[in-house]
Amino acid sequence: MGKPTILTVDDDLEVSAAIGRDLRDQYGGEYRVVVATSGEQALTVLTRLALREQRVALIVADQRMPGMTGIALLEQARHHAPGAKSLLLTAYADTDVAIKAINDIGLDYYLLKPWDPPRERLFPIVDDLLTDWRRANPDETGDVRVVGHRWSSGSHEVKTFLARNHVPYRWYDIERDAEAQRLLDLAGGAAGAGGAAGAAGAAGAAGATEGLPLVLVPDGDPLRAPSTLDLARSLRLRTDAHQPLYDVCIIGGGPAGLAAAVYAASEGLSAVIVEREAPGGQAGQSAAIENYLGFPKGLTGSDLAHRAVAQVSRFGAEMVLARGVAGIETRGPVHAALLDGGGEIEAQAVIVATGVSYRRLDAPGLAELTGRGVYYGATASDAPQCQGEDVVIVGAANSAGQAALNFARYASRVVLVVRGPSLEATMSSYLIARIVSAPNIEVRVRSEVVAAQGDTHLESLTIADRVSGAEDKLASNWLFVFIGASPRTDWLGEAVARDGQGFVVTGQDLMAPAFAGRWPHARAPFALETSLPGVFAAGDVRLESMKRVASAVGDGAMAINVIHRYLGLG
């Protein structure tokens, strides 16, 4: 496909030559740097590149250009190179205009001129933008191939696992892609390494879905309807711990768990994260996190997770993927995390950072269609498959709002179903303003989904007005649910005190009358310590936590601080 393009635009010939030289010296090995001296010339270049199907990775534009400002150019450039990252060069006097452009046109970053020295002021910013672009636009779609059915819950689970673990793959639908049939025929005689369907996967050729999805991994046997653990092992992801004993075992790889691992490892503690699905937790599925400090443009949950995992790895903490924890066993001064399917990890201290899951909707038809048009939560990569269709989203918190905006980029219509009288009490104002202004988002307040219909997959939903009782049947193949918070902590057992909803009680809350007698020691519990000494809780799973990414990160950091004090007792 050739080198991707970096396009620079500045009407000042001296400045234009300087930035072109700096970018070419630093990135010329991997990117083609093209210099334009006006907005009009830049648009001509972009048109030519689009016609040749040549990719544009980054557009760097000066704001103060005669005839067409940098912001005006970047707005028009979205039609020629919709995936390109944007960097605005501006003067201090134009800062307010640049910040406004973050909301108005999705500007990725603005940089005050001059940018000297470039190694300190320009290249780190460009590095981040190009890394993000590369992640969203890999050179190849991946050597992993997945053959399955569009409405198969197993196929959805495999695709979600691959996407959330940043494994590129090619998808082949057995009803739409001729290549899918050829791959099924080729794999028909091979013994699958994953799942229980075995050679029955060849039945897919006859239109059945037994043995699907079929996952073809380079240098591995075909996997038929694999579990996530089978898939992770085939991809050579780490699924087992390497040490017999750790200072800290962190259960859950969301923002709280990742932060705890970074702080633990950077401060000299041996640490391991055990994550059942993929790094990032619920936050990792978000299409955009816009209120996290230090990211004025916002960032995707996937991006946040990817950056955090890189930090975890850099400091030397381990990560065990695709493994759930079934219980905690205390063995004198050591705690053992008992893994699903066998095995255990021992540590002197444990942090429970398993977060929360979306609650299930209780209405006729929904359970039967879960995974086949009815989904709980969504990743950013789910939206493109809904191109031109009607999508229904249930929920009124920020996660639902971000999902609605992401799906609106592809869907013909997005219907946001809200039980309450408005969004104001539960959603941030910046999201509400964008939802209200979106022409293809319809908000239905005082409403709820009361039934789902469909044979092999979701075909329609019944939505009722909670005041009048009137019902409306809406044709749709897609329902995404973002309601409530369920911690799912039964696996902790009776030794760890929880409230009636399952949230873990920690610190001074253990001294409340409702939990009298649950703390077994003469000393007071440390902050974030549970009723099982040496076991701590951080993030959304903890009672009275704030349920925000920033607070979860703070919890993870604070947990390591108190664990140092706990370990000092020994």
- Band of residue 205 on the pLDDT scale cut at 50, 70, 90: very low
Nearest partner of 203 among 219, 171, 221, 181, judged by Cα: 181
Q: Which residues pair with 235 in a beta bridge?
A: none
Mean pLDDT of 424-447: 95
* pLDDT cut 90: percent of the chain above it: 77
Rounded Cα distance between 327 and 338, Å, is: 5
Q: What is the CATH classification number for the domain harbouring 151? A: 3.40.30
What is the Cα 193 distance to its own chain's centre?
28
Rounded Cα distance between 116 and 136, Å, is: 29
**Is there a domain that residue 239 lies in?**
no
Q: Are 182 and 190 in contact (CB under 8 A)?
A: no
**Is there a domain that residue 240 lies in?**
no
Rounded Cα distance between 552 and 280, Å, is: 11
- Band of residue 141 on the pLDDT scale cut at 50, 70, 90: low
Co-location of 177 and 96 in the same domain = no
Contacts (Cβ under 8 Å, ≥6 apart) of 110? 87, 88, 89, 90, 95, 98, 99, 101, 102
Mean pLDDT of 255-268: 97
Q: What is the CATH classification number for the domain harbouring 414? A: 3.50.50.60
Q: What is the pLDDT of residues 150-198, one digit of tens each?
A: 999 999 999 999 989 989 899 999 998 888 988 888 887 443 334 333 3
pLDDT at 199 over 70: no
Q: Give the pLDDT confidence score for residue 201 in this predicted structure.
A: 33
Structure tokens at 213: 């999805």
Co-location of 251 and 188 in the same domain = no
Among 95-99, 207-211, 395-399, 469-473, which is the least confidently predicted range?
207-211
Mean pLDDT of 52-76: 94
pLDDT at 440 over 70: yes
**Is there a domain that residue 268 lies in?**
yes
Q: Give the pLDDT confidence score for residue 408 in this predicted structure.
A: 96
Tell me which of 570 and 175 has the higher pLDDT.
175
Q: What is the pLDDT of residues 511-569, one digit of tens each?
A: 999 999 999 889 999 999 999 999 999 999 999 998 889 999 999 999 999 999 999 97
Chain mean pLDDT for the chain: 91
Rounded Cα distance between 464 and 492, Å, is: 38
Co-location of 284 and 172 in the same domain = no
Q: Give the pLDDT confidence score for residue 142 in this predicted structure.
A: 62
Q: Are 128 and 100 in contact (CB under 8 A)?
A: no
Q: What is the CATH classification number for the domain harbouring 78? A: 3.40.50.2300
Structure tokens at 395: 């929920």
C-beta atoms surrounding 373 within 10 Å: 25
Rounded Cα distance between 532 and 520, Å, is: 8
Co-location of 474 and 495 in the same domain = no
Q: What is the pLDDT of residues 277-322, one digit of tens each?
A: 999 988 888 888 888 888 888 888 888 998 999 999 999 999 999 9
State the SS3 of 38-62: CHHHHHHHHHHHHHCCCCEEEEEEE
Co-location of 304 and 409 in the same domain = no
Co-location of 353 and 498 in the same domain = yes
Q: Which residues pair with 215 in a beta bridge?
A: 146, 223
Q: Give the pLDDT confidence score for residue 339 in this predicted structure.
A: 96
Co-location of 316 and 434 in the same domain = no
Structure tokens at 231: 């898939």
Q: Give the pLDDT confidence score for residue 187 in this predicted structure.
A: 81
Rounded Cα distance between 154 and 146, Å, is: 11
Mean pLDDT of 267-271: 97
- Band of residue 133 on the pLDDT scale cut at 50, 70, 90: very high
**Checking DSSP bridges between strand 413-417 and strand 441-444, what pairing results, if any?**
parallel
Co-location of 104 and 148 in the same domain = no
Q: Give the pLDDT confidence score for residue 484 in this predicted structure.
A: 81
In a 13 Å sphere around the CA of 461, the CA atoms on its Cβ side amount to: 27
Last residue of a domain, one of 199, 234, 269: 234
Tell me which of 192 and 482 has the higher pLDDT.
482
Co-location of 353 and 493 in the same domain = yes
Q: Are 486 and 495 in contact (CB under 8 A)?
A: no
Instruction: Please give the angle made by the CA atoms of 568, 569 and 570, to the nearest 5 degrees.
Output: 90
**Checking DSSP bridges between strand 447-453 and strand 460-465, what pairing results, if any?**
antiparallel
Q: Give the residue numbers spanning the domain of 411.
A: 366-481
Q: Give the pLDDT confidence score for residue 202 in this predicted structure.
A: 32
Q: Are 47 and 81 in contact (CB under 8 A)?
A: no
Nearest partner of 381 among 301, 475, 279, 289, judged by Cα: 301
Number of domains comprising the chain: 4
Among 13-17, 121-125, 201-205, which is the least confidently predicted range?
201-205
Last residue of a domain, one of 456, 481, 506: 481
Rounded Cα distance between 531 and 225, Å, is: 40
pLDDT at 206 over 70: no
DSSP output for 269-283: --EEEEESS-TTTTG
Last residue of a domain, one of 459, 481, 503: 481
Q: Give the pLDDT confidence score for residue 467 in this predicted structure.
A: 95
For the chain, how long is the longest CA-to-CA vector?
76
Co-location of 38 and 113 in the same domain = yes
Rounded Cα distance between 169 and 217, Å, is: 9
Q: Are 280 and 304 in contact (CB under 8 A)?
A: yes
Rounded Cα distance between 272 and 253, Å, is: 10
Q: Give the pLDDT confidence score for residue 298 in this predicted structure.
A: 83
**Is there a domain that residue 284 lies in?**
yes
Q: Which amino acid is at 285?
A: Q
Q: Give the pLDDT confidence score for residue 41 in this predicted structure.
A: 96
Q: Are 58 and 87 in contact (CB under 8 A)?
A: yes
Co-location of 215 and 294 in the same domain = no
**Is there a domain that residue 18 lies in?**
yes
Q: What is the pLDDT of residues 399-415, one digit of tens each?
A: 999 999 999 999 999 99
Co-location of 201 and 289 in the same domain = no
Q: 3-class SS at 72?
A: helix
Q: Give the pLDDT confidence score for residue 139 in this predicted structure.
A: 67
pLDDT at 354 over 70: yes
